[in-house]
Amino acid sequence: MSDRRHHDAPHAHDSRQSRVAVLIPVFNDQPGLEKALASLAQDGSRFDVMVVDDGSDPPISIPSNLPYQVRLIRQEPNQGITAALNRGLAQIAQDRYDYVARIDAGDLSLSGRLAAQAAFLDDHPEHAVVGTATRHVDVDGRILYDFYPPREHGDIMRGLRYQAALMHPSIMLRLDAVQACGLYDNRFPGGEDYDLFFRLAKTCKLANLQEIYVVKETNPSSITGQRKKLRGRLGRLKLLAWHFDPGSVHSYLGIAANTLAILTPPHLIRTVRRWRN
């Protein structure tokens, strides 16, 4: 079931249609969704938003005072983020957008982000993904660290063997490239984004902008958050084995580094990140 706000969803031949759709999966986080939607209202460029409610109880609702179009898809029962992302991508593809940007409920998308990423993809047709630098804050808004990912394709591919060389909530994807290589794979829970990046990189290039365009909220002391990170690292190990390249030393070192990260206390990892930044 879907719910349309503001006016009917655009059609492929409607000149009013935006080229960019922002995809937001959400589960039981109405305040976080409203925070992300409010941040997008400051962007100033032309875009639409696709929200996938992954079985929230009570169901997610969309504020009525937003200056852009939102389409709400309800997915019941809860099926997880991979299914929610793929449901949204399928609808975005059906509506024939050019690009799809990601952000998570609770995160902030800063003004100028979508225009900068769309302009990059327009100017670099060989690229399928462009991310941005991100600021990570605690629940009170205090800065934990800034993350400046590698800029160029080769450095990103090496970095993906070790850590988040593309921050998933900051990316914009070229939709036809995603359709060509396939959607998110549910075999890699917590690592479905990495798997997509590896598959896209077989035929396209990846890049990052060095400006901070996304603010990501993190609760370092949250037990749920720590468990999610552990699941993500385990999923990352699985996909690194799946995409293992025996001719690359980084394949071996990446698995070793991620294994070490699983065994390292989270507070030590946060200390290292603060020191590096």
235-269 pLDDT, tens digit each? 777 777 777 788 888 777 777 777 887 777 665 55
Percent of the chain with pLDDT over 70: 84
Residue 3 pLDDT: 47
Q: Classify residue 98 by its DSSP letter.
A: S
| Predicted TM-score of the model (pTM) | 0.81
Question: pLDDT tens for residues 65-78?
Answer: 899 999 999 999 99
Residue 103 pLDDT: 97
Residue 11 pLDDT: 37
More confident residue, 119 or 229: 119
More confident residue, 243 or 111: 111
Helix (H) or strand (E) holding 237: helix 223-242
Question: pLDDT tens for residues 18-55?
Answer: 999 999 999 999 999 999 999 999 998 999 999 999 99
Three-class secondary structure of residue 93 per DSSP: helix
In the predicted model, is pLDDT for residue 158 greater than 50?
yes
Indicate the average pLDDT of the chain: 86
The mean pLDDT of 3-30, rounded to a whole number, is 68
Which residue bears the tokens 């552990």?
Answer: 230
Structural domains in the chain plus CATH codes: 2-221 (3.90.550.10)
